[in-house]
Amino acid sequence: MFTIDILQLIIKNKISWIIEQKKHLSINVLKTKVHKTKFNFYTQTNTYLLNKIFILEYKKRSPTQKIISQNVNIINVAQTYQKYATAISVVTDEKFFSGSFKHLKLMSQITNKPILCKDFILDPYQIFFARYYGADIILLILAILSDTQYIILRNIAHQLSMSVITEVSNKIEFERAMNLKAKIIMINNRNLKNFTINIHNTINLLNNINVNYKTILISASGIKQHTQIQKLNKLVHGYLIGTALLTNKNILLNVKKIIFGNNKICGLKKNYDAYISSKAGSIFGGLIFTKQSIRYINLDHAKNITNNITTLLYIGVFYNNSITDIVKVIQKIPLFAIQLHGNEDQNFINNVKNKIPKHIQIWKTYSINNTIPQQKFSHIDLFIYDYYLPGSGKTFNWNLLKNINKTNIILAGGLNIYNCVQAAQLKCYGLDFNSGVEKTPGKKDLIKINNIFYQLRNCT
């Protein structure tokens, strides 16, 4: 696709950049201005042999893309990454990535996470420069370094108590990294010569190499969906993710979708319950507008929740309500979708679709006993598969889901802290939690919710 070796262009420019920077700030002066970092990312990652590492990245663009995050506020990015990142990566190359060391410094000032300087490091000067701007971790790319160069640069980083992530992209580089006793190896799914991406690079490499069990493995580039993470979780300890988080303004939504999946906490009745659900990692919040339900919420209380907790996408749940009832709720409450949980037929669905704004999705619930029904309805964005006795806390036979397409199915019914990992492994579009995360009906349990999202983040 590309006839030009992009990496060689980057290296040529980087050498010029280093020469120019040294004219303005010498390495001797730099050495007097830097001090050791307080973070030891090596020690921190040892705890992640069981817990997944998420290095979330801020960058403006790559050489083969237009601006990724032109309208994204770096302060908003920092505040969001602070909540969910193990560490934060900042791309600092100016010419090819529109990066800046000012971005790195700002990120280090706003957050209390270890900061990775993501750059093409060739010279000891760059390590002192990165530390001067607040970096705690550096990236050393074996594709551009000899073993001797690598050892020199790593030793300098260690003198500043900085950790080193060693990047590889093929078997030869991986074996070099192992021989060099790299503590953290990052497999780049991007071809550095033409910058194309192949997400299977991580899989292909690790299926053909024996890895020291103490080596921390990170997969980078091309991670866009939670399903990819589920596929790679048994092979690696963590991920570096950037572009997919920054492609639209809702950074928080992007982060939660990729790390946890598309999950919903239903039956919300209080602001606090909505708040803890969102903070833990939920994408959707379910509001039940059927008076027969013990989790029924009236319009005033629902409006109070949606006005104050704006970080959830709200789903209005209806059970044989009239179209008039549904429209009345939509006029008052900013819903992302309506969920039809009753006996609504295609005629009802057609009519309600014509009455509601086009941006509002329609979800339909199927009550499952011994068989999986055919998805016969049209104009439905997602289907909820629930146990045929709702609210019983029981699950249907999940073996029924084998060999069917589950990409438009949200799994519900009896989900709790004991079966959420097994449910996630079914790889449905998302999971729907209700009674399994409650103290009493309608009162959510903070400990259970946090426990579930902790498991979803780290499950293999």
pLDDT in tens, 132-180: 999 999 999 999 999 999 999 999 999 999 999 999 999 999 999 999 9
d(CA 46, CA 184): 10
Q: Which domains does the chain have, with CATH numbers?
A: 6-255 (3.20.20.70), 262-454 (3.20.20.70)
CA dihedral 140, 146, 151, 154 (to 10 degrees): -10
Q: What are the pLDDT digits (tens) for 71-123? A: 788 999 999 999 999 999 999 999 999 999 999 999 999 999 999 999 999 99
Given pLDDT bands bounded at 50, 70 and 90, which one contains residue 450? very high
Measured over all CA atoms, what is the biggest interatomic distance in the chain, rounded to whole angstroms?
77
Read off the tokens for 131. 């530390």
Structure tokens at 357: 């704004």
pLDDT at 50 over 80: no
SS3 state at 163: strand
Alpha-carbon distance of 21 to 304, in angstroms, equals 54
**Direct distance between the N- and C-terminal alpha carbons of the chain, in angstroms, rounded to an integer:** 35
- How far apart, in whole angstroms, are the C-alpha atoms of residue 105 and residue 358? 43
DSSP state of 302: H
Nearest one of 154, 18, 186, 22 to 94, comparing CA atoms: 18
Average pLDDT, the chain: 94
Where does 333-388 have alpha helices with state H? 346-355
Q: Could you write out the DSSP letters of every residue in 428-441?
A: -SEEEESGGGEEET
Distance CA 308, CA 274 (A): 9
Residue 69 pLDDT more than 90? Answer: no
| C-alpha closest to that of 54 among 240, 253, 244, 247 | 240
